[in-house]
């Protein structure tokens, strides 16, 4: 089984590559300097754009945050979600329709498309081209949500939301390949909103103040704290609850950057399981599926994430996923007012 683990040797190699981290940091800093001084131009569109991203690679909860914004806006505005479509087998601009699959548009865009009615979902590595395409379709969007586009400087986002995980704050990290940062910590200055994600439910206001001071936000930046809200009703071919599978053999399959919050939640709820851990966005092969089926003796329950489910739901039986949502620990209304005010005051919707 091609499971993904970080070994001591891998950690040693990452530290050994620290000089490359310094070089990579220099390259990204020069790139940002060119954009910030208009030596390389960014395009700002009339259609309002909200960028959701991070400074690190994966594991900060971008997908549930995008879904939160969709739920917040979809009843009052025509919403489009634009993604790169990571690891898709298509090229260029693709507008999701009834023929879309995880292979043609990517797992996360396919999840948005299947989950929400009356929104536009599209993929394109060139976000500038994609927004131009969107502005010329029939019934164009009134708001474009850019998924994982914080480093895509060719588009100047109207509102930038930066996510950082509670257990791996960007201020405590270093550049790739030694650490997980895609660019310097200084890149955080581009965000108007910083969200600390995957916090404990019981995170106190005192601790929030402590973390906020560590992040050192500018006066124009607002910091919020969210947690993962799990739905104990599992989804799949039918619906069952966590309690109904407690005494069954459970195989947990994950292909996400950081499955630790999920495994901790299941363990805290008294579930015992065998965990098959794959790397983020893993493309399950026929061999993977065959080996999973071999482990599925005595009609064991297969449990996975929603992002993984959209890639393998048609290949495995007795497969379920645990739905999750972003939940603000406090000041939810303050965050929503920032979003609504931006969209309502934009040039197209004013």
Q: How far apart are CA 326 and CA 321, in angstroms?
A: 16
Q: What is the pLDDT of residues 286-331, one digit of tens each?
A: 999 999 998 887 778 999 999 999 999 999 988 999 999 999 999 9
Q: What is the pLDDT of residues 192-222, one digit of tens each?
A: 999 999 999 999 999 999 999 999 999 999 9
Q: Which one, of 247, 254, 243, 246, lies nearest residue 303 by Cα?
A: 254
Q: In whole numbers, what is the pLDDT of the chain averaged over residues?
A: 92
The pLDDT value recorded for residue 13 is 66
Given a cut of 70, whether residue 350 has pLDDT beyond it is no
| pLDDT greater than 60 at residue 282 | yes
pLDDT over 70 percentage in the chain: 95
**Strands (E) located in 139-281:** 143-147, 159-165, 193-197, 222-230, 233-236, 240-241, 250-254, 274-277
**All domains in the chain, ordered by first residue:** 8-229+327-345 (3.40.50.300), 232-322 (3.40.50)
In tens, the pLDDT along 49-103 reads 999 999 999 789 999 999 999 999 999 999 999 999 998 999 999 999 999 999 9
pLDDT of residue 14: 67
User: Hey, is 95 helix, strand or coil?
Assistant: strand
**pLDDT the model gives residue 348:** 57
Spatial CA neighbour of 201 closest among 235, 167, 236, 227 = 227
Query: Using CA atoms, how far apart are residues 286 and 284, in angstroms rounded to an integer?
Result: 7
Cα 68 to Cα 62: distance, rounded to the nearest angstrom:
10
pTM for the model: 0.93
Given a cut of 50, is residue 29 above it in pLDDT?
yes
Other Cβ atoms closer than 10 A to 40: 13
Instruction: Taking residues 169-198, report their average pLDDT.
Output: 95
**What angle (nearest 5°) sits at the alpha carbon of residue 217, between those of residues 221 and 65?**
60
* Per-residue model confidence (pLDDT) at position 3: 42
């Amino acid at each position: 089984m091609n499971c993904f683990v970080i070994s001591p040797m891998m950690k040693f190699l990452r530290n050994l590559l620290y000089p490359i981290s310094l070089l990579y940091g220099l390259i990204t800093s020069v790139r940002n300097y060119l954009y910030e001084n208009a030596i390389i131009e960014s395009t700002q569109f009339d259609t309002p754009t909200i960028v959701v991203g991070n400074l690190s690679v994966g594991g900060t909860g971008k997908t549930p945050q995008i879904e939160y914004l969709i739920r917040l806006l979809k009843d009052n505005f025509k919403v489009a979600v634009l993604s790169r479509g990571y690891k898709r087998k298509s090229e260029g601009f693709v507008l999701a329709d009834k023929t879309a699959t995880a292979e043609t548009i990517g797992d996360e865009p396919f999840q948005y498309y299947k989950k929400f009615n009356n929104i536009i979902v599209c993929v394109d590595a060139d976000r500038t081209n994609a927004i131009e395409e969107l502005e010329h379709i029939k019934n164009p969007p009134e708001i474009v949500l850019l998924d994982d586009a914080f480093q895509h400087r060719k588009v100047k986002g109207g509102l930038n939301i930066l996510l950082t995980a509670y257990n791996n704050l960007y201020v405590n990290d270093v550049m790739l390949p030694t650490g997980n940062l895609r660019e310097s910590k200084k890149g955080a200055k581009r965000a108007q909103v910083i969200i600390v994600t995957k916090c404990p439910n019981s995170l106190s206001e005192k601790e929030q103040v402590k973390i906020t001071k560590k992040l050192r936000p500018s006066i124009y930046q607002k910091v919020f704290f969210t947690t993962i809200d799990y739905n104990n009703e599992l989804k799949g071919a039918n619906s069952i609850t966590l309690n109904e599978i407690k005494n069954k053999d459970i195989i947990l399959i994950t292909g996400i950057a950081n499955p630790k919050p999920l495994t901790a939640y299941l363990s805290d709820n008294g579930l015992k399981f065998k965990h098959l851990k794959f790397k983020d966005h893993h493309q399950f092969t026929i061999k993977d599926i065959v080996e999973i089926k071999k482990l599925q003796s005595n009609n064991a329950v297969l449990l996975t994430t929603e992002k993984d489910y959209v890639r393998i739901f048609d290949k495995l039986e007795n497969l379920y996923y645990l739905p999750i949502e972003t939940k603000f620990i406090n000041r939810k209304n303050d965050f929503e007012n920032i979003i609504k005010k931006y969209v309502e005051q934009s040039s197209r919707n004013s």
